[in-house]
Amino acid sequence: MKKVPFVTKEQLDEIVKKYPTPFHLYDEKGIRKNVKALKEAFSWNPGYKEYFAVKATPNPFLIQILREYGCGYDCSSYTELMLSDAVGAEAGDIMFSSNDTPAEDFVLADKLGAIINLDDITHIEFLERAIGHIPETISCRYNPGGLFKISNDIMDNPGDAKYGMTTEQMTEAFKTLKAKGAKEFGIHAFLASNTVTNDYYPMLAKVLFEEAVKLKEETGAHIKFINLSGGIGIPYTPDQEPNDIFAIGEGVRKVYEEVLVPAGMGDVAIYTELGRYMLGPYGLLVTRAIHEKHTHKEYIGVDACAANLMRPAIYGAYHHITVMGKEDQPCDHKYDITGSLCENNDKFAIDRMLPKIDIGDLLVIHDAGAHGFSMGYNYNGKLRSAEVLLKEDGSTQLIRRAETPNDYFATFDCFEIGKKLLK
């Protein structure tokens, strides 16, 4: 298989005249098509709602596109709550799923009418102290422990994760919360990351649905919703088959009919918190080859670095690279594609077979639409780059300007040295 960018060489040549590389480019048409498919796949459930994982791509322009389709916001921090509020979140639009949570975060979440998802049983008392009450609608995060397997394949290791409550703690938490005034309950779990299989969500749903039935029987709690969280991945490599969201939705529906409906729980709403699936394939990191180096290996230096996309550096993650205008040329040159950080892991690709790259060539790094810009940082004094939206009509819109040295030095503004640095 072959990964094809959503932008042509001719389009990109015009775009870079307006926005200097590097920058992240997002595909409005693809984003809209994808969210429509997701909603249709789960339309069998009247209460279904997608709470977009803000952490994946915290840009208000992109979030507002998803909001047009009824998406809510999955937040995990104070500033993500602020961002969601600024783009028009109303009561019930925010799912606040955090861990090791500061009191002020709970206070703001409660003020905004967010559904609070507790990560630990000790957070019940902490939350009550922070906001002065227990909300009538509340959720708890579940971690069954052990390994999460599909057939004989280990998908992830929940037992080694810091998130969520044990089976016994869930029962105790529901009883305690109910005694303190909670009336509507939710269950949430995230047991595997970036799965490229249509079986993950149905398997996760079965675990959560069975836990919901058990909790209802043991505590008498009314389960209002079950949140399948994220975990639906994307095919980063060209040989991977993408998930079929309609097969996934149908798989969850079957388990719903098998487990919840017979237990008299056919009114439970299904929630999701997708980030990578929603935006990952619809973002490219656009960069330009500016150096070549011939030593023990062949290197191509580009003007982007790990500050723009960390995943290859910290995870060894694969991101496909297209040399624009050379898509049909043979991949007969082996390169390391590097950034300029003073770290040897600042490489977008290692021993990657690509067409011959010349200085000035534009490269696009695929699947950077989620956990790309958002994971950026300022090591080496690197400045975060711009974000640009490729609109449905082919025009472009700047949706985040590039940082300047003034942004980098802004936190010195209260000191004398700031006068020399800020201009």
> Rounded to whole angstroms, what are the CA distances from 403 to 17, 308, 340, 381, 383?
18, 12, 17, 11, 5
pLDDT, tens digit, 9 for 90 and up, residues 94-136? 999 999 999 999 999 999 999 999 999 999 999 999 999 999 9
C-alpha to C-alpha distance for 271 and 286, rounded to whole angstroms: 34
CB 177 within 8 A of CB 185: yes
Beta strands in 358-417 (DSSP E): 362-365, 386-390, 396-400
End-to-end CA distance of the chain: 50
CA distance linking residue 354 with residue 380, whole number of Å: 29
Q: Which homologous superfamily does the CATH classification assign to the domain defined by 28-279?
A: Alanine racemase (3.20.20.10)
Considering the segment(s) 281-412 as one domain, its CATH architecture is: Beta Barrel (2.40)
The per-residue pLDDT for 161 is: 73
Mean pLDDT of residues grouped by 10 in the chain (423 residues)? 92 98 98 98 98 97 97 97 96 95 98 97 97 98 76 57 90 97 96 88 95 97 97 94 97 98 97 97 98 97 97 95 97 97 96 98 98 94 96 98 95 86 82
DSSP letter assigned to residue 369: T
How high is the pLDDT of residue 154? 46
Distance from C-alpha of 195 to C-alpha of 272, rounded to nearest angstrom: 15
Lookup: tokens for 138: 């509340």
Strands 153-156 and 137-141: unpaired
Q: Where in the chain is the domain with CATH 2.40.37.10?
A: 281-412
pLDDT score for 174: 98
What number of other Cβ atoms are within 10 A of residue 17's Cβ? 8
User: Where in the chain are all domains bearing CATH 3.20.20.10?
Assistant: 28-279
Which structure tokens are listed for 235?
A: 């095919």
Angle subtended at Cα 272 by Cα 319 and Cα 109, rounded to the nearest 5 degrees:
105
Radius of gyration of the chain (CA): 23
Give the pLDDT score at 151: 53
Residue 288's pLDDT is 98
pLDDT for the residue numbered 157: 63
Positions marked active-site: 342
Structural tokens at position 4: 């094809």
> What is the CB-side half-sphere exposure of residue 114 using CA atoms within 13 A?
31
What is the spatial distance between Cα 404 and Cα 410, in angstroms, rounded to a whole number?
10
